[in-house]
């Protein structure tokens, strides 16, 4: 196992893992799997930055199927950023209640306030600018600019980390590995040159459907024979 906290070897590890034959096989198998098993959600058929940002905020704390059940209803109530901005707290809180996010209404409204008053109601395409918004961290910012604007940037959460750690046999000494800069560097080095949106969504779906936290579906995994943590792997 390689550690992403090996001092001066950190970048060497990431660079060599990403350029290895194993990395090429990983990308190929992941793309093939995604063509057959990709999940279909309403926020994946739009390029509206507002809708995509909303979906990422919801998905940070709620399972995708639950968000899918309520997403369109929330958009109908707040179809634009300005509509959200001009709404009352109780109205926003009530709309978020089915997601279990009623208490997040204040944060969501604070985000809308900044976007309307400081950015003219536009969603910035720069991830660092997005991270300055209330309730927006690195993952939400990166996912938004990737899926809304096609920016070539990785998306790294605890689920993506699990896939990368299992397949590439790496670890992090950080208590929150998804915040480890070296893990993000590895994820960035693994990005394909094109169709980054599909690649990132493939990683998300693969983590949710196959490489799960508990009882991963190793027997059906297309990468089982090359994964060092799979039972009976080559």
Query: 141 and 56, same structural domain?
Result: yes
Structure confidence at residue 3 as a pLDDT band (50, 70, 90)? low
Task: Specify the CATH number for the domain of residue 114.
Answer: 1.10.340.30
Given 93, 118, 149, which residue is the final one in a domain? 149
Predicted local confidence at residue 22, as pLDDT: 81
Question: Which of 10, 50, 157, 180 is the catalytic position?
Answer: 157
Global pTM?
0.90
Structure confidence at residue 20 as a pLDDT band (50, 70, 90)? confident
| DSSP category for residue 130 | H
Structurally, how many domains does the chain consist of?
2
Structure confidence at residue 13 as a pLDDT band (50, 70, 90)? low
Given 149, 174, 201, which residue is the final one in a domain? 149
Q: Is residue 232 part of a domain?
A: no
Q: Is residue 48 part of a domain?
A: yes
pLDDT digits (tens, 9 = 90+) for 62-89: 999 999 999 999 999 999 999 999 999 9
How far apart are alpha carbons 101 and 216 in whole angstroms? 28
DSSP 145-178: HHHHH--------HHHHHHHHHHHTEE--SSSGG
| Cβ atoms of residues 13 and 170 within 8 Å | yes
Candidate from 133-137, 152-156, 182-186 with smallest mean pLDDT: 182-186
94 catalytic residue (yes or no): no
Q: Is residue 233 part of a domain?
A: no
179 catalytic residue (yes or no): no
Query: 157 and 144, same structural domain?
Result: no
Question: Which of 10, 50, 139, 182 is the catalytic position?
Answer: 139
Whether residue 14 is predicted with pLDDT greater than 80 in this model: the reply is: no
Question: Which of 9, 11, 50, 56 is the catalytic position?
Answer: 56
pLDDT digits (tens, 9 = 90+) for 86-142: 999 999 999 999 999 999 999 999 999 999 999 999 999 999 999 999 999 999 999
CA distances from 47 to 94, 156, 163, 174, 196 (A): 26, 21, 27, 34, 14
Predicted local confidence at residue 7, as pLDDT: 46
Q: Is residue 116 part of a domain?
A: yes
Predicted local confidence at residue 31, as pLDDT: 94
157 catalytic residue (yes or no): yes
Given 149, 177, 194, which residue is the final one in a domain? 149
Structure confidence at residue 166 as a pLDDT band (50, 70, 90)? very high
What domain range is 174 assigned to?
Answer: 2-40+153-226
What whole-number percentage of the chain has pLDDT above 70?
A: 91
């Amino acid at each position: 196992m390689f550690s992403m906290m090996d001092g001066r070897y950190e970048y060497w590890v990431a660079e060599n893992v990403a350029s290895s034959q194993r990395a090429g096989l990983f990308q190929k198998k992941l793309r093939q799997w995604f063509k057959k098993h990709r999940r279909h959600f309403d926020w994946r058929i739009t390029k509206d930055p507002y809708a995509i940002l909303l979906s990422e905020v919801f998905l940070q704390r709620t399972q995708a199927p639950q968000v899918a059940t309520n997403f369109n209803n929330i958009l109908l109530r707040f179809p634009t950023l300005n509509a959200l901005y001009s709404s009352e707290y109780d109205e926003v809180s009530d709309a978020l209640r089915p997601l279990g996010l009623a208490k997040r209404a204040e944060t969501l409204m604070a985000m809308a306030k900044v976007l309307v008053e400081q950015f003219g109601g536009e969603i910035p395409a720069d991830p660092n600018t997005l991270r300055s918004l209330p309730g927006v961290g690195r993952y939400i910012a990166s996912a938004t600019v990737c899926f809304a604007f096609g920016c070539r940037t990785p998306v790294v959460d605890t689920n993506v980390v699990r896939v990368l750690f299992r397949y590439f046999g790496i670890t992090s000494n950080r208590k929150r590995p998804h915040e480890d800069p070296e893990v993000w560097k590895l994820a960035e080095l693994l990005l394909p040159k094109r169709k980054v949106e599909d690649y990132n969504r493939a990683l998300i779906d693969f983590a949710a459907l196959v490489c799960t936290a508990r009882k991963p579906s190793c027997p059906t995994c297309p990468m089982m024979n090359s994964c060092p943590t799979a039972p009976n792997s080559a």
